[in-house]
Amino acid sequence: MKKLLGITGLFIAIFAFTAYQQENFVSARNIENLLDRTGLLGILGVGAAFVIITGGIDLSIGSVVGLVGCLLPMFVIDQEMPVPLAIFLVMLISAGIGLAHGLLITKLKLQPFIVTLCGLLIYRGIGRFLTADQTMTFGEQHKGLREWATGNIDLPMLTASKGFSLPMPFLILFVLMIIGSIFLNKTVWGRYLLALGRNEQAARYSGIKTERLTILAYVICSTLAGFGGVLFMLDLNSVQPSSHGNFYELYAIAAAVLGGCSLRGGEGSIVGVVIGMGVLQVLKSASLFLEIPDQLEFTIIGSVILLGAIVDEVAKRVVHRMRQAKQHS
Amino acid sequence: MKYPLLEVRIVTKYFPGVVALKQVSLTLEKGEVLALIGENGAGKSTLMKILAGIQQPDLGKLFWNGKEANIDSVDAAMDLGIALIHQELNLADNLDIGSNIFLGREPRNKLGIINRRQILEESIKVLERVGLDFDPNTSLTRLSIGQQQLVEIAKALSMNAKILIMDEPTSSLSSKETARLFEVAKDLKQQGVSVIYISHRLGEVKELADRVVVFRDGQNSGELSKEEISHDRMVQLMVGRDVSRLYERTSHAPGEEVLKVTDLATPAFPGQKNSFSIRAGEIVGMAGLVGAGRTELLRVLFGVDDAVSGAIEVGGNPCHFHHPKDAIDAGMVLVPEDRKGQGLVIDWPLDMNGSLPGLDQHLKRKAFIDKKHEVQTAETMIGDLNIKTPNRKQILQFLSGGNQQKVVLGKWLALEPKILLLDEPTRGIDIGAKEEIYHLMDKLAAQGLAVLFVSSELEEIMGVSDRALVMHEGKITGELPRSELSEESLMQLATGQELAATH
């Protein structure tokens, strides 16, 4: 809880500071953009959170986004598949990737880092090979679908007066956040996931089918990566197979960590991931508006995450010491 | 006037909110083996930390050979000659014996390069003193735990230790290694080295100690000279009351057979087939030496490992367990040996641990956690099992070992199992909690549960079991009804010998 308040405060601080410096930071256009980016990347972050909670990691998220960005136009345009079928197939492939990760990790006991790092390389290569590095685009086709998936929803009052409408990706993220949060905190499976991340052996000795659950986490992560990939493709409508999705996993993981997921596993908050992604995006936007050279963009983001991790660790020790003092009284 | 080597005089130590030591005193002579015993939390470790320079007393003084000593740092303690041998060994297993002995104080030549020859020479000398016949170049990993412990002692001796403080040294040793350790302790005595020996194993204390000092609740509770040392006296001083009721039992007639095992072989001992059965209302103890295959058997019964061959029947139905969940669904549960690693999620609160195995049986609307039931389970557990905790949200890490074990038991009892498997149920638990657990096992058997427990404490096997199975190198070598239980018969079967002809 405290952590969520902390990063919300951070978000507000960065937002307020930049708004004070640059008035047009608070324009409708800019906020829409912020919510749009947060939505798209946030979906990836939610997937990453599930895997991190089990104590694992997924470095292939960006490459799955890239691969989907290549396959979807290929299926729809080259193969002339009906759009729903193409989307279904692409999601199935993403889920399959997650299943493969999960099986390698649970049955062969390979380390998640290695498995997904190789995935990062392999899927990128496949995408590039299949498209011969050609830029993929829908062109002017399927405009309706594209607008529906990534356009904006008019909101009563706000749209009329301020010209602000809610980007669809953010709405999708919001719904995902609610579902994910309820799943993690209120359902039996979520509790099992937290137990398995905290102490896998003890979870198994309590009758929890840890292997199945771990595989499920990886399937969720890759499926959401695929889903995000579909939305990205529709949004950008121009995908470079060699670079589309690059570094997205880092954003996803960073948001998860900022939002309270410990890389050791066993704890995390889906709401935190969303707020965390918001912080990352507002930072990026702020650097732009404050005319900080964009070479420093990564430096700033990295520093903020590091600062967040330091504060978290120090706070944990202070709380631990306070608890111990209470024990002895 | 002759002074004792070490005197602790009216030492008091405070920690936030608690008085860990209240005006305790003790003396130690040269070449004496002094055993320090007491329940968990009695203050033994605190005093040892003070002697080792890790902590300082708030009141009171320490005397070395009659002169006041101010042990204000670990170095100061080492300079005097006080060495603390931890329960968890402080050795680097990627180095060899000699390097370990001189770790951190390697003799160097003028160029600053480590003088390997001196290390080898000096190491051989101290290794001889502890009777370890190894080349100092030997990698530490080639030594058993018992031998590694002797290296730690050699290390202390190479620093001219005059007092060795050993904290629960035998908890991970086989009985052969324990016997070796005792020989070394006796040798050291003759060499003029004193030993302070902390242990819960009162049998060992009786064998080894010249004198016993007992702590209770941070204070001196009494002292026993060699002639006065007896199990009952020690327990009485530790607990402050008469514990001859430790193994008090109700009589319970065994009922139907609930567990039948036929030709079962574990992956650890694939050639050894074992058959036995347990009836409802019975407490069966499983004795044997460390490594006899008892834990492995329990793991197969609980579905953690797959059996290599053989059959298991629960309640007359043949079962094939591939996962603990299968065993749990059949009504068989396990309290594992490793509380922190397998028995509990130690960073979690009591209520979440208590509900974990039963979550899927009490579902709210098919998938949601039934919070009310979780609270109920926790409160029932705290009440029925007399768990000492401020509330049900207490993180288990902050409970004592005995109370943690009760939570493990409680989470299973909430599922109303038919068969209770326990692996070393009272390891690392003080005597007060032990008594409670024995009474609990007795009560559960009286209620109709079948209880199978593994223990390395012969006294426990003899006190609690209706009958005992003994294992040796993967095979059950014999079965003894309660009337025939004795240390000799159990040990004989545990070491693979045939029982002597009955009288």
Q: Which of B285, B288, B327 shows the shortest CA–CA distance to B304?
A: B327
When pLDDT is cut at 50, 70 and 90, the band that residue B502 belongs to is very low
For chain B, the average pLDDT equals: 88
| A96 to A61, A81, A113, B81: CA distances (angstroms) | 13, 20, 18, 65
B43/B59 Cα distance (integer angstroms) = 15
The pLDDT value recorded for residue A230 is: 93
Specify the pLDDT at position A308: 74
Mean pLDDT of B68-91: 86
Which residue of chain B has the CA closest to A329? Answer: B17
Indicate yes or no: CB of A186 within 8 angstroms of CB of B368.
yes
Across A80-94, A113-127, B84-98, B265-279, least confident range: B84-98
Q: Provide the pLDDT for residue A306.
A: 86
User: DSSP character for B111?
Assistant: T
Q: Give backbone dihedrals phi and psi of A271, rounded to 5 degrees, phi first.
A: -60, -40
Q: Are B189 and B107 in contact (CB under 8 A)?
A: no
Query: Of the segments A89-98, B69-78, B471-480, which one has the largest average pLDDT value?
Result: A89-98
Q: Do A202 and B324 touch (CB under 8 A)?
A: no
Share of chain B above pLDDT 90, in %: 44
- Kindly state whether A205 is in contact with chain B, defined as any CB-CB distance less than 8 angstroms: yes
Looking at per-residue pLDDT, the higher value among A91 and B248 belongs to A91
Q: Which residues have C-beta within 8 Å of that of residue B36, sequence separation ≥ 6?
A: B26, B44, B47, B48, B196, B197, B198, B212, B213, B214, B215
CA distance B310 to B265: 6
pLDDT at B498 over 70: no
- Residues of A whose CB is below 8 A from B357: 206-207
**Quick one: pLDDT band at residue B244, thresholds 50, 70, 90?**
low
Nearest to B344 among A202, A209, A326 (CB): A202
Confidence of residue B503 (pLDDT cuts 50, 70, 90): very low
Q: Which residues of A touch B395 (CB under 8 A)?
A: 323
Tell me: the pLDDT tens digits for B138-159?
998 888 878 888 888 888 888 8
Predicted local distance difference test score (pLDDT) of residue B50: 92
**Which of B109-113, B260-264, B354-358 has the lowest average pLDDT?**
B109-113
Contacts of A208 in chain B (CB under 8 A): 325, 356
- Contacts B398 to A, Cβ<8 Å: 323, 327
Q: Which one is predicted more confidently, A320 or B409?
A: B409
Region B397-408 average pLDDT? 89
Distance, CA of B178 to chain centre: 14
For chain A, list residues with pLDDT below 70.
156-162, 326-329
Tell me whether 0.90 is exceeded by the ipTM: no
Distances (CA, A) of A164 to A28, A34, B22, B345: 5, 12, 71, 48
| Banded pLDDT at B485 (limits 50, 70, 90) | confident
pLDDT in tens, A179-223: 999 999 999 999 999 999 999 999 999 999 999 999 999 999 999
User: Are B328 and A207 an interchain contact pair (Cβ–Cβ within 8 Å)?
Assistant: yes
